[in-house]
Amino acid sequence: MSLVNTRMVGQIAVLEINSPPVNALSVQLRSDMLKALTTIAENTDVAALLLHCAGSTFICGADIREFDAEPLSPHLPEVIARLENFPVPVVALLHGHVLGGGLEVAAACHYRIADPQTNIGLPEVSLGVVPGAGGAQRMMRLVGVENAVQLATSGRAVKVTQPEYNAFCDALLSDTSFSHLEGLLALGLHWVELALQKGELVPRATANMALDQGEVDWEALTAKVARSAKSNPVPNKLLAQLQRDLCLSVQESESHTRHLFLELRQSLVAKALRHAFFLEKKLQAPRGKQPLRIDQVGVIGAGTMGGAIAICFADAGFKVVLLEQSEQALSAGLERIKVQYQGSCDKGRITQQQCDVRISLINGSCDYSDVADVDLVIEAAFESMEVKQSIFAKLDEVCKKSSILATNTSYLDINLIAQATARPESVVGMHFFSPANIMKLLEIVNADQTAPAVVEAMQQLAKKLRKQAVTVGVCFGFAANRMYSRYGREIQQMLLEGASVEQIDNAMLDFGMAMGPLAVLDLSGIDIGHNARAQYPQPEYDPGYFKVSTALVNAGRLGRKTGLGFYNYSTAKPTVDQEVVVLIKKVGDELGITQQHFNTESIQQRTFLAMISEAAQVIEEGIVSEKEAIDLIWLHGYGFPRAKGGPMFMAEQYGIASLQAKMEKMRELQGEKIWPSLELAQYINQD
Ligand code: 3HC
């Protein structure tokens, strides 16, 4: 069956692409397009060609599933050349997303007309490749060098109506969004007919358009791209290539980026980024069997976390009742929310109207009866079992029977919290990461008696909140914080063994983590984890277990909020003062810890081994059911470099034998309890 349909409407040949779900340019689609173009070109009755797509979107790029194999002919540049050199005018009718190879196709058409809601983008760099069919070069001619380079190097999609990209389209078809594609098609055909009648349509190759280089500050652009690309080297490679080729024709420059595209496809970075892309899709909730019945939400606690959770729901259009114990705490919490929304508005992230609507969706209350009718309550109160149990007992008393009762606890046993109610099947964990309205990760904690329908509803809800959700079981810290604690334990142990604060943070920044782990502790407050751990006995087999944090907390160094933590924040650039060096040395000496020599590589390797060790245990104990969840947690919860794919992806490259040998060494030094023997072959694929 062909993936394209053609028909004639008067003198206009309509070529419709129909390759769901996103009209990706698979080898079959490329081939079917070429065949259809040949047939249309032979028809002398054709005055113009209208290219459009069935379904919710225009072409969303090359078919990424083909990237692991050898590229198969016909290749995209051949389709593009055929379109660009077509004997009659070619008009692309755009809607939905026009991405990657899809934008390259559109840019090679002679005219573009679009639904104003359309998004355009060149996301190739986020997959570790570059636009491989001259998309960047043609966009330079359509929207200017700087705008095109920004689009291609950022990988981000923009609205077609964004002023910088105005010149991309010849017409926007209406100010309303289209509920029916037929309506858009009818408008598109009408536009082509009128233009034909006026004699305004002629074949014109974008590649032949003059290039207005304008005033581009390449140095500043390079620095900006390097900053935002973080550990992904591809945006800067693309930038350098485009800058070098500026004086070349589109065809010559396109052949260079094509070569780069083919070379990068098989690189480790591209494989890691593809892995990240597909695991996000794999772990997304499937379409729900039942429609999601959550309209109104209650949030208990208007502190930093509760407020951010309320924002997260209001951002997604939910009505929220924010509950606090006192009027004073409530008005302070509501004020913080207002300030935050106004800040987003001032920075241009949302409009004043969006700001007002979202603020109006959040209503405060100090009366539990105001959450009686909500469909979901999320408790974000103080991290204490006693406090949480009393809140859940109260919620059980007041909330309607169908309400889902969720806790945002980071560490506490949800089975015990559920026991405070007569409906443990309705109790679930919804563990947000701070700041809850920004961080993508959401852990859905499936407690022993949580009903499957409740878990499914939370997975559907996560999608609406635009979160990347993982469903996990109950254990101390669940999957995410448990693994992060193991990472933190290894870092503190290395401090005791002689690694310096700066060495550790710099090594992890060099690895590509978004922040150094000790700077993170300072930011979140060293006392937070310390207080959580204080509720449990210190593991007797691990004498140094977070002893550095304890020493800092005892010295009043709680992090940024006290001006002193691992770093001293009294100057513009935080420094490590002698007091911290002495404190750490003292703890190490008291414990008789042997000092070692560390470098960037040894620090990175130790932390990586710790991540894998705990991840394997989390999988083995069934806390997560898919190993991909581990990578998702690190990528979206803890700033793990996406270009490295996640710890489990890295472990596959590292090799099981090598991992086992290194863990064995650590086991000899620190004992079986900290470095247990693991059947890694069960969790890590090997070629
Ligand atoms: N190739 C193959 N499959 C793709 C795909 C692509 N380019 N884009 C999306 N899909 C698949 C997804 O894996 C998913 O499959 P599943 O249903 O089996 O899980 C399905 O299409 C629907 O995708 P989403 O769930 O992501 O749907 P959304 O509506 O949320 O988002 C989207 C749609 C914005 C198009 C998003 O999928 C996306 O960003 N896709 C990637 C687009 C991209 O990166 N294109 C560039 C490819 S590289 C290229 O074009 C090279 C060229 O220069 C030569």
Do 460 and 542 share a domain, yes or no? no
**242 lies in a domain?**
yes
Give 434's pLDDT tier (boundaries 50, 70, 90): confident
Catalytic machinery residues: 104, 124
Please report which helix (H) or strand (E) contains residue 591, including its range: helix 578-591
Do 303 and 212 share a domain, yes or no? no
Q: What percent of the chain has pLDDT over 70?
A: 99
> Do the bridges between strand 90-94 and strand 4-9 make them parallel or antiparallel, or are there none, so unpaired?
unpaired
Do 304 and 351 share a domain, yes or no? yes
Burial environment of residue 594 by CB neighbours within 10 A (0 to 12, 13 to 18, 19 or more):
exposed
Give the residue, out of 64, 73, 119, 628, with the most ligand 1 atoms within 8 A of its beta carbon, to mutate for a pocket test.
64
Residue 278 alpha carbon, nearest atom of ligand 1: 13
Lowest mean pLDDT among 14-18, 394-398, 515-519, 531-535: 531-535
Do 471 and 390 share a domain, yes or no? yes
- For the chain, the average pLDDT equals 95
124 lines ligand 1 (CB under 6 A): yes
The CA 138 to ligand 1 mean position distance, Å, reads: 22
Residue 282 alpha carbon, nearest atom of ligand 1: 19
The CA 60 to ligand 1 mean position distance, Å, reads: 6
User: Which domain, by its residues, includes 11?
Assistant: 4-266
Could you tell me which residues are beta bridge partners of residue 92?
Answer: 51, 112
Give the count of domains, the chain. 3
Return the half-sphere exposure (C-beta side, CA atoms, 13 A cut-off) of residue 298: 29
How does pLDDT run across 188-226, given as a tens digit for each residue?
999 999 999 999 999 999 999 999 877 889 999 999 999
Do 650 and 531 share a domain, yes or no? yes
Do 463 and 381 share a domain, yes or no? yes
Tell me which of 477, 495, 511 is where a domain ends: 477
How does pLDDT run across 604-625, given as a tens digit for each residue?
999 999 999 999 999 999 999 8
Do 467 and 530 share a domain, yes or no? no
How does pLDDT run across 466-482, given as a tens digit for each residue?
999 999 999 989 999 99
Q: Is the pLDDT of residue 178 over 70?
A: no
Do 219 and 334 share a domain, yes or no? no
Residue pair 568/574 in contact by the 8 Å Cβ criterion: yes
80 lines ligand 1 (CB under 6 A): no
Do 388 and 526 share a domain, yes or no? no
Indicate the Cα dihedral angle 16, 21, 25, 30, nearest 10°.
-50
What's the 3-state SS for 217-241? CHHHHHHHHHHHHCCCCHHHHHHHH
How does pLDDT run across 245-289, given as a tens digit for each residue?
999 999 999 999 999 999 999 999 999 999 999 999 998 877 766
Which residues, 6 or more positions from 572, have their beta carbon under 8 angstroms from its beta carbon? none
Does the predicted model carry a pTM greater than 0.85? yes
Q: Is the pLDDT of residue 177 over 90?
A: no
How does pLDDT run across 357-385, given as a tens digit for each residue?
999 999 999 999 999 999 999 999 988 89
Do 500 and 445 share a domain, yes or no? no
